[in-house]
Amino acid sequence: MKTDVRTAMLPGSFDPPTNGHVDIITRSARLYDRLYVVIADNVSKSTLFTPDERLAMLQEILKEYSNIEVVTHSGLVVDFAREHGVGVMVRGVRALADFGYEFELAMTNKQLYSGLEVLFLPTSPKYFLLRSSAIKEMAAFGADISTMVPPLVVEKMKERIVPNT
């Protein structure tokens, strides 16, 4: 499929989706004609929510954005890009610590598919401490996560996690 620089993708685990994800997704959607949010269906990674559960949550949260399509994908993200004519991969960066890893990932992906540009978008300051892994830990100890994730995710986390405390 022909590569289109007006079509972007934002890949990730989104386990679970956070307000930081929603921020970076909706900001990216303003920059491109079409944005795929690509949920990694990675069998080797153990996750709290299945790919289909994460898909359902993100579809509901993002339903008002007509240029965003949420999908699941197993395999290399560059293959998704090739198959769907995606010209740009957006990655959010929070702290400098994210940057080293993201830079190496960008180099690897560029080697695999030179037609794909990678764009780093800095987090909005109010979300820079939000990480899915930390949110899962906090929820396990019964902490209030309602300022960190969309209301739908608060509900789904309550159903899934029985606090340790």
User: CB of 165: closest distance to ligand ADP in angstroms?
Assistant: 25
| Active-site residue flag, 131 | no
User: CB of 2: closest distance to ligand ADP in angstroms?
Assistant: 25
| Active-site residue flag, 156 | no
**Are the C-beta atoms of residues 109 and 61 closer than 8 Å to each other?**
no
Q: Which stretch binds ligand ADP (CB under 6 A): 49-57, 63-71, 123-131, 140-148?
A: 123-131
Q: What is the CA radius of gyration of the chain?
A: 16
Structure tokens that stand for 130 in this block: 């939000």
Cα atoms in the Cβ-side hemisphere of radius 13 Å centred on 139: 25
Task: List CB contacts of 85: < 8 A, sequence separation 6 or more.
Answer: 1, 2, 3, 4, 7
Site for ligand ADP in 30-69 (CB under 6 A): none
Residues of this chain that interact with ligand ADP (CB under 6 A) are 12-14, 18, 20-21, 24, 91-94, 98, 123, 127, 130, 132
Q: Could you give the residue numbers annotated as active site?
A: 21, 45, 94, 132
